[in-house]
A and B are shown apart, each in its own frame.
Chain A
């Protein structure tokens, strides 16, 4: 299956700590995207990394991609209570389609 698998399934950290989530996938991709979902704002696109890129930053987010290992990681630095949400890795076999993984549930404790 093309589907990415996030690890861990659930993560609980203290406010101010860093959170790292990993995604592994099985076949080649055009790009890989991370989305966040919480009850207040629904599903929101966070960041996209293309297959020829190795690292991208956006604010407190850092994404890496290792196509040789077919894996990606999402790092959230200096976490806040508002970061509490489910985070989904979405692998894109083509530019116009994504396949979502089962997600990582992140709890940030104030």
Chain B
């Protein structure tokens, strides 16, 4: 079974630029999560999708962050414009219909200069 795929693995941008991350969950997994993990901290939930609908985006900074999962499969997370404090690892996870265990991708490490 293929795992959760994310790209790119690394991204360096300057503040005020835009960036997008892509996630392809495990096949058949209806629930998809995006997390932000700042160095030395635990992952913080940004947004949760169930199929192509948003379940929880209460912690997503909507003035600069957006996310979509148009066909209920892969998802993109965008930051526009980026700030220095957005430097973090962005993790994508998915869960199957009957499960609670989250399967994580390798993450995208974002550095904002």
Interface assignment of B48: CB less than 8 Å from any CB of chain A: yes
Chain B interface mostly helix, strand, loop or mixed? strand
Separation of A47 and B31 alpha carbons in the complex (Å): 20
Separation of A97 and B58 alpha carbons in the complex (Å): 13
Chain A interface mostly helix, strand, loop or mixed? strand
- The one of B42, B50, B91, B100 that contacts A101, using a Cβ cutoff of 8 Å: B42
Contact A31 B42 (CB under 8 A): no
Query: What are the residues of chain B within 8 A of A33 when measuring CB–CB?
Result: 100-101
- Count residues of chain A with CB under 8 A from any CB of chain B: 20
B9 → chain A, closest Cβ, in Å? 11
Tally of A-B Cβ pairs under 8 angstroms: 47
- Supposing A31-B100, A45-B102 touch, asked if A96 and B95 sit within 8 A by C-beta, the answer is yes
Residue among A3, A44, A45, A99 with max Cβ neighbours from chain B (10 Å): A45
Query: What are the residues of chain B within 8 A of A96 when measuring CB–CB?
Result: 31, 48, 50, 55, 95, 100
Contact A42 B48 (CB under 8 A): no
Query: What are the residues of chain B within 8 A of A3 when measuring CB–CB?
Result: 42
Stretch at the interface among B14-22, B68-76, B78-86, B103-111: B103-111
Contact B45 A45 (CB under 8 A): no
Shortest Cβ distance from B41 into A: residue = A102
Contact A45 B42 (CB under 8 A): no
Query: What 0/1 readout, one digit per residue, does chain A (32-61) give for beta carbons within 8 Å of chain B?
Result: 010000000011110010000000000000
Query: What are the residues of chain A within 8 A of B43 when measuring CB–CB?
Result: 43, 88, 100
Q: Which residues of B contact A (CB under 8 A)?
A: 31, 35, 40-45, 48, 50, 55-56, 91, 93, 95, 100-107
Q: Which residues of A contact B (CB under 8 A)?
A: 3, 31, 33, 42-45, 48, 88, 90, 92, 95-103
15 example contacts (A-B, Cβ-Cβ < 8 A) are as follows A31-B100, A33-B100, A42-B105, A42-B107, A43-B43, A48-B101, A88-B43, A95-B100, A96-B55, A96-B95, A97-B56, A98-B45, A100-B42, A102-B41, A102-B42
